[in-house]
Structure 1
Amino acid sequence: MTDIRIEIVSDMVCPWCWVGKRRLDRAMAERPDLEVERVWRAYMLNPDMPPQGVPRDAYLGAKFGAEKLGRLHEPLVAIGGDEGIPFDFQAIAKMPSSLNAHRLVRWARTAGVQAPLVEDLFDRYFARGEDIGDPAVLVEAAGAAGMDTTIVAELLAGDGDVELVRKEDTLARQIGIQGVPTFIINGKWAVVGAEPTEHWRQLLARVAAGEDLAAGE
C-alpha cells in the first residue's frame, strides 16, 4: 500500500524542476521504509512554442534581456554542483517545445518508468544539449528507459494524448499553479518550488506520522 502519493507538476525545460526532483530523490532514498508513489503531471512553461522550437539565446534574450544572459545561469550552475547536476547551458542551442516530451512521460507511467525517463530527459537537455522536442531524441530516451521504441515512434508520429497534455496543463493553471515545480502531496497539500532536501525530510516524516501539513506550515 502506498504511504505517500506525490503528484509532480513539472516541465522538462525547467532547470529548477531537475533540482527539485534531485532533492526529493535524496529525501526518499533516506526513507526506504516509506512507499512513495510519484506521478508526473504536465505543465508547459511555453505552451505556444512551435513544434520545431526556437534558438535558445534569442528566446532568453527577448525574455530577460541580452545583457543578463551571461550571468543568468551562474546561480543554477552552483546549485547544480551541490546537487550533482552537471548543468551545461552553453551546450543548449534550442528552446524546444515540451509537448511531445510530456506525451512520452504520460506513456512512461503505464510502463512504470516515469522517474528514470524524466531524469534522462533532464540530463539530455540540460547536460548534453539535446533537443527533447525532437521525436528521434524522445524515441532514444524511451528505449533507454525500457519502453518499446517501435510503439513510441508510432505514437509520436500521431496526435495521441496531445489534447490530454494540454488539458492537464490548463487544469494546473486553473487550480492556481503559476510556476514549477509544484508538488501535490496526497491530493491535499502543495509544495511550491525546489525546496531543500531537509525540508523534504521533515515533510515525509510528518506525512508518515499522519500529521496535517496545513497545521504549522
Structure 2
Amino acid sequence: MISIDPYPQEILEKAKSIQSSISLPPCLDSIFFISRMLRANDDESEVRRMINHILLHRSLIGYSEEKETAIYDSLFPHVYHRFSVSKLEDSPQSGNLHVFVQRMKDVHLRDILSTTPASQVLHAYMALQEIFGRTIVSTEKKTGLNLTEFLNPLSPNCKLAKMIVGLWSEYFSETLVRILIINSPGIISIMWQITRHIVDARTANRLVFLSNVQQLKEYLEPSVRC
C-alpha cells in the first residue's frame, strides 16, 4: 500500500517558522501544507517565494474566495469538463492518502487546444491544486492516456503536458506520491520515451504502470471508490 513517510522534526520546525511569518488563508493554513514544500525543496527562501506566488495567483485569477464547486462549475468548466477531472471536495481516501482521478479516454487535446488557450488550461490546473490542497488540509485538521498524442516532444500537446507536470512538480511535488497508469497501450520502451519527454526525473520515478485494475489493490485500499 502507498503511504506517506512521517515528516522529520527539522522540517516541521522550519514550517512553523514560515507559518508564523506568512498569512495563509484558513483553508490552506496547515503546517503540513508548508512541510510538503520543504520536503521537496529545502531552500526556505524559495519555499516562501513559491507560497507567495501561489497566493498571488489565487487572488489574481479569482478563486481564492470561491467554494470548490464554483471553481469547477463557474471559473473553469470548459477545462474540467473536457478533461473529466474528479471533484475533490469529497475525495476518496486510501489510508492517509487522498486519491485524485483524471480520465483521459476520449480526450482529444488537439481539439481542446484549438478552442481553449493553453494559459486557461494551466490556470485551471493551478486552481485544481487549490482544491486538492484544501481537501488535504481539511483532513489534516481532523487528525488511460492516448499516448500517440505525446510521442512528438515538440508537439503542442507534449509541451502543454510538460508545463502542467512541471507546474505540479515545482509547486506541489509533495502532494504527488505515485502516478498509477492502467492498461496503457504499447511496450515499455515507448513508455519510457514518453516519460522522458514529459516529466522530470523525480516525477518519472513516481510513475507506476499497471496492466489491470486489480493491481490497484497493491497500492490502494480496496474500499476506495473513484
- Comparing both structures, which one devotes a greater share of its residues to strand? 1
- Considering Cα pairs closer than 8 Å and 6+ residues apart, tell me whether 1 or 2 has the greater RCO: 1
TM-score past 0.5 threshold: no
Q: Could you tell me the TM-score, scaled by structure 2's length?
A: 0.23
- Comparing both structures, which one devotes a greater share of its residues to helix? 2
Q: Could you tell me the TM-score, scaled by structure 1's length?
A: 0.23
